[in-house]
Amino acid sequence: MSGGRRSSEAELNAFVDGELAGKEAAEVQAALATMPEDLQRVRALSGLNERLSQHYAKVLAEPVPPRLAALAARIPDAERVPTVWRVGSPPASGMRAASAARRGGTGSPSTLA
């Protein structure tokens, strides 16, 4: 991703969702410092994640019906959804990373304060 190449939509989404690790996350973050269009997109995606989280927070706080909880308990661990996709994962991680990139910071979205 060096040389000023714009990040793909998939890369930006993965970055905002905290799905990129190590080198990939660092490359996207570094690119954001020089690509205002991508930074704007990251901010928009982060804002959308935040609005969706707020909108569905009440529903997501409801207890899981016993029948569904029993079904979920039968799913082997290897088939469960990765933690980053679960409700409650930090939707603003990409926004923190974008902010750090703008300030010249480094690190993956999940480690930025």
What confidence category does residue 44 fall into, taking pLDDT thresholds of 50, 70 and 90? Answer: very high
Give percent of the chain above pLDDT 70: 65
pLDDT bin (cut points 50, 70, 90) of residue 60 is confident
Tokens 């690790």 found at: 21
- Kindly report each contact of residues 24-27 with a partner whose C-beta sits within 8 Å and lies 24 or more positions away, as own/partner: 25/97, 25/108, 25/109, 26/106, 26/107, 26/108, 27/1, 27/2
Q: Which residue has the higher pLDDT, 27 or 95?
A: 27
Contact 25, 101 (CB under 8 A): no
Is 33 in contact with 101 (CB distance < 8 Å)? Answer: yes
Question: Are 105 and 112 contacting, i.e. CB atoms less than 8 angstroms apart?
Answer: yes
Asked if pLDDT for residue 86 goes beyond 90, the answer is: no
- Considering just the CA atoms, what is the radius of gyration of the chain in Å? 16
Indicate whether 33 pLDDT > 70: yes
Q: Does the pLDDT at position 2 exceed 50? A: no
